[in-house]
Structure 1
């Protein structure tokens, strides 16, 4: 009886927070669904006609939609490859004792705390600007023509900037997992003559599998909504070269003033994000059960 009473008390105590969270989530979602079925344009106020699935049809058949989906997948996949592989490399380096280890770890993790808008502005103006940027100055000093990164390699530049910001997160998670590895296993394998590559392949990497899965899940959810870096650097261009699904919703809603179609795009983005999240959660569940 005491256990049931304590559980009931616990549910009662957390219910205000749960109700607040549900209201915070459900209210915007309900409004988004409502507007997605209306012809609601800010240029023509009062013309709020119910159009059913028309907004979804026009959003899905928009010529920019296919490019936005491809760019979204390339952006997420590219950042995940860089951060997971780079995070493993940095975790292996930072796990070893070295001079100034604490300061080095802080410097490696620091980019994660920089706002996306600020980091995008820094990379755009201080590093990648072909005239005044550091990379351009170095290229000119070596006798090479400066590279216009956002003009020649726009999506690759966005991937680099986003990866720079998310690499510390992957490093921190993987470093924590690596430090939990029983060192006696590595010492025993080394005494048996196993090379470092074999120790990494058969002991370290399987131990890091769960941490890698968690990194992929969390980063994928956030990377699907990448927006600030694109807005600050390329505005989705040149053309639609860096337009992802989130930026396409922004264009429809706030640049074309079509709230109805933008809301439909937001609903589609939510559905796709949940499909990806459910798929990754199942992967994590299988990994944890293994």
Structure 2
């Protein structure tokens, strides 16, 4: 009897593996082939403008990148962009989640309107902010500034990186709100009511009950957002094209410049490898952070 059951489980397991094998194989090929080609090109002299210069380059592409001030400027801009957007979305998302958890007239409509910017495509969002909100002559922000007697600001010239941070944060704030508001639904109202009866005010309830309850959800928001924020491209391409100078050039946009503007595939591939290593370091750190919060 036991042998029959074991045999049945074995046959069932083999059938399951046979059904999963094509999808798993396709996924591995989808990942391994581009990664392998990127690694191979990163060690080659391959510039489309100089087809005669080919061959194995060793570490020349990496040496060139690490000696290029543009790489360090791009990495600095990337860290600033990720850090500021995370700070704005996590803090703003937490406060908005607490606000939208309260009962008020039109709460359902307000929730839908607050979450809707997340579903706008990045290119469309960037165009709206560039031409309708931050335009130095006809933008809404310029009209507001002039209404109150202030001088209009040319955002993309005088505050380029801040402009990108505002646009990206506007896109990702609804995502943080959605996750944190969902987590708020499981908050024990009896615990909150008991705290109120003991004399706790709104601030004490927020810091000692609400915030600890949202700790895991905040960790998830940080992990997911950081992975995507490392690859921000469309907002920069549409609004500033990495400028003025290198003021808004992040690592993803620098790779684009090297590959599709300078046609230097070898250097661009080396930059891609650096980006992959950086993303994996961040991912390992975030996974450990989330796992630690889940164990608490």
Q: TM-score, normalised by structure 1?
A: 0.97
Moved more, 236-245 or 77-86: 236-245
CA separation of 1:58/1:138 partners in 2, compared to 1, >3 Å: closer, same or farther? same
Q: How many angstroms does 1:192 deviate by?
A: 1.5
- Choose from 36, 42, 62 the match for 1:56: 62
Look up the match of 1:217: 223
Q: Is residue 231 from structure 1 mapped to residue 237 from structure 2 by the alignment? A: yes
- Choose from 58, 71, 85 the match for 2:91: 85
Q: Deviations over 1:188-241 (max 9, x none)?
A: 111111111111111111110000000000000000001111111111111111
Q: Distance in 2 between matches of 1:106 and 1:241?
A: 35
Q: Distance in 2 between matches of 1:68 and 1:198?
A: 41
Number of residue-to-residue matches in the alignment: 290
Q: Distance in 1 between matches of 2:52 and 2:13?
A: 50
Structure 1 residue runs of 5 or longer lacking an equivalent are none
Moved more, 153-162 or 22-31: 22-31
Q: How many angstroms does 1:7 deviate by?
A: 3.9
Q: Is residue 208 from structure 1 mapped to residue 210 from structure 2 by the alignment? A: no
CA separation of 1:268/1:100 partners in 2, compared to 1, >3 Å: closer, same or farther? same
Secondary structure of the residue aligned to 1:270 is helix
Moved more, 4-13 or 60-69: 4-13
Q: Is residue 136 from structure 1 mapped to residue 142 from structure 2 by the alignment? A: yes
Q: How many angstroms does 1:31 deviate by?
A: 1.0
Q: Deviations over 1:1-33 (max 9, x none)?
A: 244544443333222211111111111111111
Look up the match of 1:188: 194
- Choose from 120, 124, 129 the match for 2:126: 120
Structure 2 residue runs of 5 or longer lacking an equivalent are 1-5
Q: Distance in 2 between matches of 1:8 and 1:89?
A: 51
Q: Deviations over 1:129-161 (max 9, x none)?
A: 101111112223333221011111110110010
Q: How many angstroms does 1:60 deviate by?
A: 1.4
Q: Distance in 1 between matches of 2:205 and 2:105?
A: 25
CA RMSD of aligned residues (A): 1.3
Q: Deviations over 1:158-179 (max 9, x none)?
A: 0010000000100000001111
Larger radius of gyration: 2
- Choose from 269, 273, 280 the match for 2:279: 273
Look up the match of 2:269: 263
Secondary structure of the residue aligned to 1:42 is coil
Q: Distance in 2 between matches of 1:204 and 1:8?
A: 48
Q: Deviations over 1:232-256 (max 9, x none)?
A: 1111111111111111111111111
Moved more, 230-239 or 75-84: 230-239
Look up the match of 2:37: 31
Moved more, 48-57 or 98-107: 98-107
- Choose from 64, 68, 72 the match for 2:74: 68
Secondary structure of the residue aligned to 2:180 is helix
